[in-house]
Amino acid sequence: ARSDGLEGQVSGARVIAQALKTQDVNYMFGIVGIPVTEIALAAQEVGIRYIGMRNEQAACYAASAVGYLTGRPGVCLVVSGPGLIHGLGGMANANMNCWPLIVIGGSSERSQETMGAFQEFPQVEACRLYSKFSARPSSIEAIPSIIEKAVRSSIYGRPGACYVDIPADFVNLQVNVNSIKYVECCMPPPVSMAETSAVRMAASVIRNAKQPLVIIGKGAAYAHAEESIRKLVEQCKLPFLPTPMGKGVIRDNHPNCVAAARSRALQFADVIVLLGARLNWILHFGLPPRYQPDVKFIQVDICAEELGNNVRPAVTLLGDINAVTKQLLEQFDKTPWQYPPESEWWKVLREKMKSNEALSKELASKKSLPMNYYTVFYHVQEQLPRDCFVVSEGANTMDIGRTVLQNYLPRHRLDAGTFGTMGVGLGFAIAAAIVAKDRNPGKRVICVEGDSAFGFSGMEVETICRYNLPIVLLVVNNNGIYQGFDTDSWKEMLKFGDATTVAPPMSLLPHSHYEHVMTAFGGKGYFVQTPEELQKSLRQSLADTTNPSLINIMIEPQATRKAQDFHWLTQSNL
């Protein structure tokens, strides 16, 4: 018997934790404080891992990455008011990316509502714009069913973010154990298939294509459709192009991958099989001049409302990508067909790939110092373990890095995504490292950051060191946003006035020693200026399987990407 008179009682915090665990939710990221500290403690008690972060935004990014990587939502736990508001950035990012996420926010006491309570804010309303579902349980007894609904909503249909609001007075309230009924773990999402007639029509459109292309998006990665998509591509001998996070669904070095001829492939394809990618800015809306005006899209998506956005598709296949791709495969099993490998289209694509690859190699081989982006990524690619997670953000750092750094496995690239969010990198890297620790011990996480991007969540380096996550952080440092100044020009400039009046808004402090952020917390730090130093520090960082490291790589402050066919192609992801 308990001495505190709480025999047979259970706290609201414990009910929340148990309800989450019952729904097979296993990771919680957050920052504790009034009124949610007890929820984090209770989570640990029921066997949920709790990772304390330094900013709710980064915690929310991390939780959402867990959802993408495991298919089961992670939780972001935040305090009321400002805590929740900091988390909104992560919620919006998750929802835009179609990634499952549960945000649990403490809120002020119900009895003080509208009175100007501590950190009072209309949280349920605030979250509605960034989520699929946003609610406050009416009582402690209602918590298990609300949490089941939140988890289910986050993974059914198009995945996304869900919010559960917990008033402060719920957290420590004790109720009779017998009054709580936990709801059974929700079933995995039901698998939906496309209409047979539409599948037949799609197969016939593909068979008649003169210049076909398969586009593989992060929806395909999330759907675990890698096996069936690879079969379709190989069996029909189709060229394919991954979107930034579709990279790795089929390995980047597959002979059918035409990523190095991306613009050309998009511009001249006459039939495009779109597997889990939206025709948004990343894919130039599917419109001319980046595409043929009469290109036939075969659009595969789980979300009916997505079908027909910006372009009227030739065929719409509403359903789960894996299931629908298998349906397509059945058609090609019945009547085998393959796209002729000797076609003019393949020749055009191969030639363009060759010349683009030669150009990158040439830039990479430049011996001048400071290094350019291509030289840096060439040396990084040389040493990357094939099975590692690559997290990346920044402007040129992310865009150029994507073309050089290869992915060989699905769901192993995480970047700024649909929303183009800067500051996601460290949260994503922490999530990947935590998941890897549980599921693939020894697997490495490489986080490639621009110097500006690093600044958004830089203090999460302390989190990395606290949990001893052997992440290799690369800061590709050009002293600025898009570009910066070298030290001499910076000093010269300051002769003309105060930095607030003369410094270009793009510039950051030149020659910053970001590696000290890592050494401050006990990790390894390297400052590198030459290819040899880069090679050596990277070798040491990868050999060290217990400590995190940060390699601060100085590059030419005015370095940019190579000339593009489309001269306005200067923005992220294009």
Write down the least CB distance from residue 303 to ligand ADP, Å: 4
Q: Give the SS3 label for residue 28.
A: strand
414 bridge partner residues:
391
**DSSP 8-class letter at 244:** G
Q: Which is nearer to ligand ADP, 238 or 302 (CB)?
A: 302
Backbone angles phi, psi at 553, to 5 degrees: -105, 110
CA distances from 266 to 84, 113, 243, 370 (A): 41, 54, 12, 35
Q: Is 451 in the site for ligand ADP (CB under 6 A)?
A: no
318 in contact with ligand ADP (CB under 6 A)? no
Q: Among all residues, whose Cβ is closest to ligand ADP?
A: 219
- Counted residue by residue, the chain has a size of 574
Q: What is the DSSP string of 175-225?
A: EEGGG--PPPPPPPPPP----HHHHHHHHHHHHT-SSEEEEE-HHHHHTT-
* 451 interacts with, out of Mg ion, ligand ADP, none, CB within 5 to 8 A per kind: Mg ion
- Residue 265 binding ligand ADP, by CB under 6 A: no
**Choosing among Mg ion, ligand ADP, none, which partner's interface includes residue 277 (Cβ < 5 to 8 Å by kind)?**
ligand ADP
Convert residues 239-258 into a mask of x (bound to ligand ADP by CB under 6 A) and - (unbound). Answer: ----x-xx------------
With CB cut-offs between 5 and 8 Å by kind, which of ligand ADP, Mg ion, none does residue 356 bind? Answer: none
Among 90, 219, 423, 548, binds ligand ADP (CB under 6 A): 219
223 binds, among ligand ADP, Mg ion, none (CB under 5 to 8 A by kind): ligand ADP
Minimal distance, residue 556 CB to Mg ion, in Å: 11
The residues, ordered by sequence, that sit 6+ positions from 406 with a Cβ below 8 Å of its Cβ are 251, 252, 253, 381, 384
Contact pattern from residue 472 through residue 511 relative to Mg ion, giving x for each residue in contact according to CB under 5 A and a dash for the rest: ------x---------------------------------
CB 351, min distance to Mg ion, A: 33
Strand locations in 276-353 (E): 296-301, 315-318
d(C-alpha 476, C-alpha 478), whole Å: 7
On whether the CB atoms of residues 548 and 470 are closer than 8 A, the answer is yes
Closest among 244, 437, 246, 201 to 233, alpha carbons compared: 246
Q: In this structure, what is the dihedral angle of CA atoms 410, 21, 135, 318, given to the nearest 10 degrees?
A: 30
Nearest CB to ligand ADP, comparing residues 372 and 407? 407
How many angstroms separate the most distant Cα atoms in the chain? 83
CA 35 to chain centre: 30
Q: Hey, which residues between 88 and 127 contact ligand ADP (CB under 6 A)?
A: 97-98
Cβ proximity of 203 and 265 under 8 Å: no
Per-residue x/- track, 42-81, ligand ADP (CB under 6 A)? ----------------------------------------
SS (H, E, C) 49-114: EEEECCCHHHHHHHHHHHHHHHCCCEEEEECCCHHHHHHHHHHHHHHHHCCCEEEEEEECCHHHCC
Residue 278 interacts with which of Mg ion, ligand ADP, none, CB < 5 to 8 Å by class: ligand ADP
Considering the complex, state which of residue 239 and residue 276 has its C-beta at the smaller distance from ligand ADP.
Answer: 276
CA distance 73 to 188: 12
By rule CB under 6 A, what string of x and - marks binding of each residue 123-162 to ligand ADP?
Answer: -----------------------------------x----
Question: Which amino acid is present at 568?
Answer: W
Binding residue count for Mg ion, defined by CB under 5 A: 4
Binding status of residue 217 toward ligand ADP by CB under 6 A: yes
- Binders of ligand ADP: how many residues, by CB under 6 A? 23
416 binds, among Mg ion, ligand ADP, none (CB under 5 to 8 A by kind): none
Q: Which of 148, 165, 252, 306 binds ligand ADP (CB under 6 A)?
A: 306
Q: Does 452 bind Mg ion (CB under 5 A)?
A: yes
Kindly identify the residues of this chain, within the stretch 5-44, that bind ligand ADP according to CB under 6 A: none
Alpha-carbon dihedral of residues 404, 408, 409, 410, nearest 10 degrees?
Answer: 50
450 binds Mg ion (CB under 5 A): yes
Exposed / middle / buried, residue 99 (Cβ in 10 Å: 0-12, 13-18, 19+): buried
Q: Which is nearer to ligand ADP, 320 or 515 (CB)?
A: 320
Based on the shown chain and the rule CB under 6 A, indicate whether residue 416 belongs to the binding site for ligand ADP: no
Q: Which is nearer to Mg ion, 315 or 376 (CB)?
A: 376
CB of 93 to ligand ADP, least distance (A): 11
Residue 222 near ligand ADP by CB under 6 A: yes
Of the pair 118, 281, the CB lying nearest ligand ADP is at 281
400 binds, among ligand ADP, Mg ion, none (CB under 5 to 8 A by kind): none
How many whole angstroms separate alpha carbon 341 and alpha carbon 352? 16
Contact 128, 99 (CB under 8 A): no
8 Å CB contact between 384 and 406: yes
Nearer to ligand ADP, 81 or 217 (CB): 217
Residues 6 or more apart whose Cβ sits within 8 Å of residue 196: 327
Is 451 among the residues that bind Mg ion (CB under 5 A)?
yes
| Residues found near ligand ADP in the complex (CB under 6 A) | 97-98, 158, 217-219, 222-223, 243, 245-246, 276-278, 280, 282, 301-303, 306, 320-321, 418
| Residues found near Mg ion in the complex (CB under 5 A) | 450-452, 478
